[in-house]
Structure 1
């Protein structure tokens, strides 16, 4: 069927145009792993020695050595709408994309916009509001959107390519955790569950405000955290949930991650929604992909399992640090306005993820 020649009299809800929103539309970890096995580097191709971080441990961004003082961080992230307000959608997508630079310990320097829009469905004003939201977040991060690429697509898509700089000695890989480290999480969980409630039109104004606040808070503490010698590894919690990205960190370090469920911060109202069955399809796909590597206490409620796998759009930093700098890490988060940052676990001998 051909697209209509005129726009609909009432613009559709943005979330009605997407089959999945935010980081919840990421390909499931198990499926992604199978795809990458069939798309690895060609035999005989030697990676340049300047490539400090590639795809080996599913890290947050690529890092390329420029000189003794600088390494370039390169990342990209984009997705379909998680909210209906176009300005908020643009802000969330941009915040999420920039986060990968902070997770590597870097300072963002420039962005390029990735834009796919159903031109014959959405008013130009709506598309403009999406782009304006992204521009405002980039302004807050201190970087320009210096270009980009646009296509006419069936579903609305927005995101950024983001470049950053970091001193080579301060690159924070997701594989650098050490036995005995404590784990600090910068933001509370529950964004995916709130987005599911929004799509079902049962999220109240307070819940929506919380969702916007947490997803548009830039993970700027990453810059300062990278300067602490006792910070050994960082990653940001996004589409694979706390359990999935925690497992990536544990696998990279060849250690076991132990989480204290009682200490994991959760957004208000989220547990009640999860207990009522308001969860994303992505949380189930996540569990199917990596649940065999997760040890849960007997009788763990289904709502808590869903929360551990809940896809976090623009989620918090997960920091693995020596116990002696734990207070400094928490103080750094507090200084940047991350009031709910909490110590949630430890790294120890073994493999996989254990939840207490």
Structure 2
């Protein structure tokens, strides 16, 4: 099968069974070490979920503990981060059995997720056809939400956005994005089979358009993928625009589709007739909305965002806290 976009998909020596595997790690981006552990676990597992694999057989944990922290700080932070990672792994129906821990200057957490599957348990991300639509399962704007929250204590940066957003909205967006990042895409992976998805990818560090371009380039048919709608955490679009236009500002390139995300949603190519049912059932299962954000068109395996892309302000208080 070669290499999948989000996970490798390799035939094993046992006829009819494949190894679907992925690895990922990154640095902490939220203040709560327990939720950071959950976010790291969710981020790793999303690569399996993007392949339609809803069952992970084993997880390895990769942990770098900062030697620049005091012993007391390490004694508090490391166990909480490990617990968050383990707890979400258990919720995903898997467990951590091994890994590697090291001392180094940076705190790092991540893992390796592995699943042994028959061919009907995964969906290769190359089956999109013209007439399909693209569904997104989480809002974008996590990078802006995390940065804006940090800027509350950094007057130089807060001054760039204070005219377009309140501190209360920043806190709400930060909390909503934090819980969103800690939420599994597992239900979406299961529904990809029920609604006969033609492929998917998750939205992480390359931004929504970066990942859509990867998805487009892997298609078997001559199609292009076009985004017409961007659901964004409340207030974060205005904050991103203000930060970009400020003197010596920061351009997150949110509207252009290149703002980095962490543990974002899945972008799923699915027939137009089945997309609404997918969205409605996902909301019933997870209690959060999904959106039809784009179209699969005849084309040359490229991806784009419409110049007049519609921005949906997702109410931060409408996204329930991730309480498990």
TM-score, shorter chain, exceeding 0.5: yes
Change (3 A) 1:324 1:230: farther
2:97 to 146, 156, 161: 146
Give the match for residue 90 of structure 1.
37
Change (3 A) 1:235 1:145: same
Q: In structure 2, what is the Cα distance between the partners aligned to 1:164 and 1:258? A: 31
Give the match for residue 134 of structure 1.
85
Deviation by residue 1:44-67 (Cα, 9 ceiling, x = unmatched): xxxxxxxx2416xxx010112345
Say whether residues 1:221 and 2:170 are aligned partners. Answer: no
2:238 to 268, 272, 278: 272
Give the match for residue 256 of structure 1.
224
More strand by share: 2
1:42-191 correspondence to structure 2 within 5 Å: 52-54=1-3, 59-66=5-12, 67=14, 70-106=17-53, 107-121=55-69, 122-191=73-142
Kindly state the Cα deviation for residue 227 of structure 1 after the two structures are TM-superposed.
Answer: 1.9
Q: In structure 2, what is the Cα distance between the partners aligned to 1:314 and 1:158? A: 13
Deviation by residue 1:254-300 (Cα, 9 ceiling, x = unmatched): 42111113xx2111121121122179xxx969xxxxxxxxxxxxxxx
Kindly state the Cα deviation for residue 338 of structure 1 after the two structures are TM-superposed.
Answer: 5.3
Deviation by residue 1:13-43 (Cα, 9 ceiling, x = unmatched): xxxxxxxxxxxxxxxxxxxxxxxxxxxxxxx
Change (3 A) 1:90 1:278: farther
Kindly state the Cα deviation for residue 174 of structure 1 after the two structures are TM-superposed.
Answer: 2.6
1:304 to 255, 258, 263: 255
Q: CA RMSD in A?
A: 2.2
Q: Name the SS of the counterpart of 1:135 in structure 2.
A: helix
Change (3 A) 1:113 1:338: same
Give the match for residue 277 of structure 2.
328
Give the match for residue 230 of structure 1.
196
Q: In structure 2, what is the Cα distance between the partners aligned to 1:53 and 1:284? A: 37
Query: In 1, are the aligned partners of 2:68 and 2:105 still within 8 Å (CA)?
Result: no
Q: In structure 2, what is the Cα distance between the partners aligned to 1:131 and 1:346? A: 40
What are the ranges of 5 or more consecutive residues in structure 2 without an aligned counterpart?
Answer: 153-157, 159-166, 307-324
Q: In structure 1, what is the Cα distance between the partners aligned to 2:227 and 2:293? A: 6
TM-score w.r.t. the length of structure 1 is 0.73
Deviation by residue 1:136-188 (Cα, 9 ceiling, x = unmatched): 11111111111110111111100111112433134222322222211111111
Q: In structure 2, what is the Cα distance between the partners aligned to 1:278 and 1:137? A: 36
Change (3 A) 1:249 1:210: same
Q: Name the SS of the counterpart of 1:112 in structure 2.
A: strand
Alignment coverage as a number of residue pairs: 279
Kindly state the Cα deviation for residue 224 of structure 1 after the two structures are TM-superposed.
Answer: 1.8
Query: In 2, are the aligned partners of 1:181 and 1:321 still within 8 Å (CA)?
Result: yes
Query: In 2, are the aligned partners of 1:112 and 1:160 still within 8 Å (CA)?
Result: yes
Q: In structure 2, what is the Cα distance between the partners aligned to 1:303 and 1:74? A: 30
TM-score w.r.t. the length of structure 2 is 0.79
